[in-house]
Structure 1
Amino acid sequence: MLSTGLVAIDSTILATSVPSIVGDLGGFSQFPWLFSIYLLAQAVSVPVYAKLSDTVGRKPIILAGIALFLLGSILCGFAWSMPALIAFRVVQGLGAGAVQPMAVTIAGDIYSVAERAKVQGYIASVWAISSVIGPTLGGVFSEFISWRFIFFVNIPLCFIAGFMLMRRFHEKVAPQRHRIDYPGAVLLTLGISALILAVLEGGQAWAWNSPTSIGAFVLGGLLLAAFLLVERRAIEPILPLWVFSRRLLLTTTLVSLGVGAVITGLTSFVPTYLEGAINISPLVAGLAVASLTIGWPIAASQSGRLYLTIGFRSTVLIGLAISVVASVLLALSAPTPNLLVVTLCCFGIGLGLGLVATPSLIAAQSSVQWNERGVVTGTNLFARSIGSAVGVAIFGAIANGIYAANSAGGGEKSPAVIALASGSAFIAVAVCAVATVLAALAMPRRSAPAAARAASPADAAGAADPA
């Protein structure tokens, strides 16, 4: 929970500080990169960490992630320009790529399926706490001190989390020889980077139909195709293709992809929307977003009762139905900004996603043994990170396009333009939520998993010691 808090606070504290950062460093059109580059670094590193954790154990990986996150936070705090801040966010992202999935994987190791919903609810509650603390700190730092402290606040948190893990978490892992799939990692990183660059800069730095734009899309596609070929031949692929040959794992991965896009689309654009459209302070705008991450753990902690009764698929579909309704209402209300409506819609979306993210992840974890759980958990969270990175890039491209088309002649400072640009992103979020329903419908029809009744949390040699 302490380790998850690092990523959670960083995610919730930054969005409310964007206007202050842009005011100091400039580069409004570049601000989506603060999220995209971080999420990209996190996403592409997750499979590598996940594979390593199945061979060397969870503890060294999560400690290394905390150290990287600490270094990135310090560098971000001293950033002198928007490009420098974006570059340092890469280091933070590489750390987060180890911290978040390892925390979830450790919970999967030491608790049974029946217990995991409650435990994952505890971990999700960290996001609820952070959703209050993060925006509050972000607003206070931005308005009264300096936005730089949104990164410096991570320093003591990293030390506390690292100390507790070193002192309290013990695991026994049988030594194994392993080979890191460096070619796969490089191809995956470059391929996704090219696609995100093409999406985020298309219509801004270059025209959509320009040779540069087309070339970036083609290059990204070719690199990802090469990645798939390498993975088929790799002895220990960072993203084993067998994960996508199993229906349950494939569909839960697609669901996680959609969840990532929806959650990041909202947390990235709601604060800017409220602050720009109706002049809400960063602190209040952050608390509006906080309602989303308050609804999530409430539903996540109770989801176990549902999926043990009606099954994973039905639970996920109920959650998605709630999220779709709330996201559509948010998109429809965007032209007439209202703080209460936005807050209630965010809460509803978070409530729905709490019934989606946790059950779909636990369904995937419960279908494999310990020596595959790291890869499966990593793949699920990798998909969520990719959904977040690509989602915020697409939503940013849409919003930037609307913003650029309507900001001529002094419209740049018009609240109506901000509302129009953000509203277009909310429409895209709603479409993404609807698309995620299709993935959930393809999940296998099954009732409560038999594994949920197993009492032993350690199901293979080398599992973590619950002590």
Structure 2
Amino acid sequence: MNQAMQEGEKRQTNRPLVLLSLILGMFMAAIEGTIVATAIPDIVGDLGGFSLYSWVFSAYLLMNALTILIYGKLADLFGRKPIFIFGVIVFLLGSLLAGFAPSMKLLILFRFIQGFGAGAVQPIALTIVGDLYTMEERAKIQGYLSSVWGISAVIGPALGGVFVEYLDWAWVFWMNIPLGILSLIGTIFFFHENLNQAKHKIDYKGSILLFIAISSVMVVLIQGGVVWSWLSAPTILLVIIFILAMILFILQERKAVEPIVPLSIWKNRLIAIANCVNLTSGIVLIGLSSFLPAFVQVVMGKSAVVAGFTLTAMSIGWPIASTVTGKLLIKYGYKTLAVIGGYALVIGGVFFVLLDPAKGPLWAGIGSFIIGVGMGMISTTFIVSIQNSVKWELRGVATASNMFMRMMGSAVGAAFLGGILNSELKSFIHKKGAGEHLSIDSANQLLGQSGDANLSAPAMNLLREGLTGALHHVYMGVFIFAVISLLLILIIPKKRA
């Protein structure tokens, strides 16, 4: 796209209304990953299928991760607008059907449809912003956009609880419909895109191989150690399929005329390192948002409102840091600000390593705020610097690859840190000689505040002690990945934005 075409697009496009439409779309897709959490007990109560409940979360995450890179490439080939509109429509269809789901299996199917649409919404929205705004403007705007993900992660569970208590769990899905319609209206009528119409060859083989590879490893992460043992035949088979599919995928991308994931972007040192940091910082983020409420409510004995406050502190630190970073990016360059963000992650990680019941929720809230600051600084600097380092025709896939790595980090982190929690708690119970009477399922009852009447006071105290130790190991893992994130940031090539 030449300069004249870009200027024409800016004259025709109502940028404030388009930006608002993109923010609505991003918020809609981001919050759907967390809002279901507080509604799941009521959903299971109505639909049954308790053994399948984890797939309500996993189905959405799986399809989102699987399609995000493919949509990024399609947006580079056919334009941002049609791909974004397609994603929102598919997402709304899945949301409408999910609210009417008569069974758990159908709900999981509709969550797959939601995820299939969501894969196009967030990365394409960020890419459109990269097209519409200059480098100076984009540094400020991306600060607002990057905070959407963090805010939605905190607002989601609380909003889901409100819907369940005062309306019906179906509204957890139906709330997306007005947001999506407004997003569509703004994009269709106020965003105008100029493209060179040309025939393109879509890399179908690469898409299929990528789908097989990622779906295999995601299923292993979800099922391994829970439904299957790590050395079971299904786990080993899926790992082999993942390795073979990835090898074939790389070979295919090398010879494809228009590869779905151009390997050249991974030769860019900035992009490669930034993507790795997004993977490790995604683990830090999921470790905080998934396990902190359990520590505050069960170990500290505080209310859900107080637990929510500790996470809300992160959602306050994130947008503040994003906004400030956007304003300072041109002056100081992305390397300096990314390093400061990396140190913030490590400092926040130290707070959680030292966390114990006596320190109280304020200590946890401070640590949460500092990690939010780190995430805000890192996400803003990386998106702007990556989009500034590639040509227009690669901007979509470069942006999508960065978001994909954070999603993979969250998926890997949830599985890895959850495995640490379960193994440490199980080991503690057996060391105390309570293996015949207590199990990890007993701790699940304690976490869910159900079945407490069946547990004696000594058993509850034992479980709390075990959970405290297990969560300490989880936070050690969070701290280690925060340190890895900082070390990776330190080797990013130093360039002015």
Cα deviation digits, residues 316-360 of structure 1 (max 9, x gap): 111011112212322431666843333222221111111111101
Q: Report the Cα distance in structure 2 between the residues aligned to 1:20 and 1:426, rounded to whole angstroms.
A: 30
Whether 2:228 is the aligned partner of 1:228: answer no
**Normalised TM-score (structure 1):** 0.87
1:396 is matched with 418
What are the residue-to-residue correspondences of 1:27-426 with 2, within 5 Å? 32-127=54-149, 130=152, 133-277=155-299, 282=304, 284-333=306-355, 338-402=360-424, 406=429, 408=435, 409-410=437-438, 411-412=442-443, 413-414=445-446, 416=464, 417-426=466-475
C-alpha displacement of 1:443: 0.8
- Identify the range of structure 1 (225-234 vs 57-66) with the bigger mean alpha-carbon deviation: 225-234
Q: Report the Cα distance in structure 1 between the residues aligned to 2:51 and 2:354, rounded to whole angstroms.
A: 25
C-alpha displacement of 1:148: 2.9
C-alpha displacement of 1:189: 1.9
Q: Report the Cα distance in structure 2 between the residues aligned to 1:187 and 1:316, rounded to whole angstroms.
A: 34
The unaligned stretches of length 5 or more in structure 1 are 450-467
C-alpha displacement of 1:272: 4.4
C-alpha displacement of 1:88: 2.6
2:494 is aligned, of 426, 442, 445, to 445
C-alpha displacement of 1:67: 0.9
C-alpha displacement of 1:304: 3.0
C-alpha displacement of 1:90: 1.9
Check 1:419–1:197 CA distance in 2 against 1; reply closer, same or farther (3 A cut): farther
- Identify the range of structure 1 (401-410 vs 145-154) with the bigger mean alpha-carbon deviation: 401-410
1:261 aligned counterpart, secondary structure: helix
**Normalised TM-score (structure 2):** 0.82
Check 1:174–1:100 CA distance in 2 against 1; reply closer, same or farther (3 A cut): same
- Identify the range of structure 1 (19-28 vs 416-425) with the bigger mean alpha-carbon deviation: 19-28
C-alpha displacement of 1:36: 3.6
- 8 Å Cα contact 1:200/1:394 also seen in 2: no
1:180 aligned counterpart, secondary structure: coil
- Identify the range of structure 1 (49-58 vs 341-350) with the bigger mean alpha-carbon deviation: 341-350
In structure 2, what residue type is equivalent to 1:440? I
C-alpha displacement of 1:430: 2.2
- 8 Å Cα contact 1:35/1:389 also seen in 2: no
Q: Report the Cα distance in structure 1 between the residues aligned to 2:358 and 2:42, rounded to whole angstroms.
A: 25
C-alpha displacement of 1:30: 5.7
- 8 Å Cα contact 1:131/1:291 also seen in 2: no
Check 1:280–1:357 CA distance in 2 against 1; reply closer, same or farther (3 A cut): same
1:333 aligned counterpart, secondary structure: coil
Check 1:265–1:91 CA distance in 2 against 1; reply closer, same or farther (3 A cut): farther
Check 1:279–1:174 CA distance in 2 against 1; reply closer, same or farther (3 A cut): farther
Check 1:199–1:134 CA distance in 2 against 1; reply closer, same or farther (3 A cut): closer
Q: Report the Cα distance in structure 1 between the residues aligned to 2:327 and 2:287, rounded to whole angstroms.
A: 29
2:9 is matched with none
Cα deviation digits, residues 282-319 of structure 1 (max 9, x gap): 55544432322221111111113443333212211110
Superposition RMSD in Å: 2.7
1:461 is matched with none
C-alpha displacement of 1:102: 1.0
Q: Report the Cα distance in structure 2 between the residues aligned to 1:276 and 1:85, rounded to whole angstroms.
A: 30
The unaligned stretches of length 5 or more in structure 2 are 1-22, 448-463
- 8 Å Cα contact 2:66/2:215 also seen in 1: no
In structure 2, what residue type is equivalent to 1:71? L
Q: Report the Cα distance in structure 1 between the residues aligned to 2:263 and 2:149, rounded to whole angstroms.
A: 31
C-alpha displacement of 1:82: 4.7
2:477 is matched with 428
Identity of counterpart residues, as a percentage? 41
Q: Report the Cα distance in structure 2 between the residues aligned to 1:25 and 1:285, rounded to whole angstroms.
A: 28
C-alpha displacement of 1:25: 5.6
Q: Report the Cα distance in structure 1 between the residues aligned to 2:248 and 2:331, rounded to whole angstroms.
A: 43
- Identify the range of structure 1 (352-361 vs 143-152) with the bigger mean alpha-carbon deviation: 143-152
2:35 aligned counterpart, secondary structure: helix
Query: How many pairs are equivalent?
Result: 448
Cα deviation digits, residues 357-411 of structure 1 (max 9, x gap): 1101211111122122112111111222222222222223333444555495243
- 8 Å Cα contact 1:132/1:287 also seen in 2: no
- 8 Å Cα contact 2:139/2:329 also seen in 1: no
Check 1:186–1:402 CA distance in 2 against 1; reply closer, same or farther (3 A cut): farther
- 8 Å Cα contact 2:142/2:384 also seen in 1: no
Q: Report the Cα distance in structure 1 between the residues aligned to 2:263 and 2:345, rounded to whole angstroms.
A: 30
1:147 aligned counterpart, secondary structure: coil
- 8 Å Cα contact 2:33/2:60 also seen in 1: no
Instruction: Report which of the two structures shows the higher radius of gyration computed on alpha carbons.
Output: 2
Q: Report the Cα distance in structure 1 between the residues aligned to 2:55 and 2:419, rounded to whole angstroms.
A: 11
Cα deviation digits, residues 210-247 of structure 1 (max 9, x gap): 33332222222222122111111222111111011111
1:95 aligned counterpart, secondary structure: helix
In structure 1, what residue type is equivalent to 2:491? A
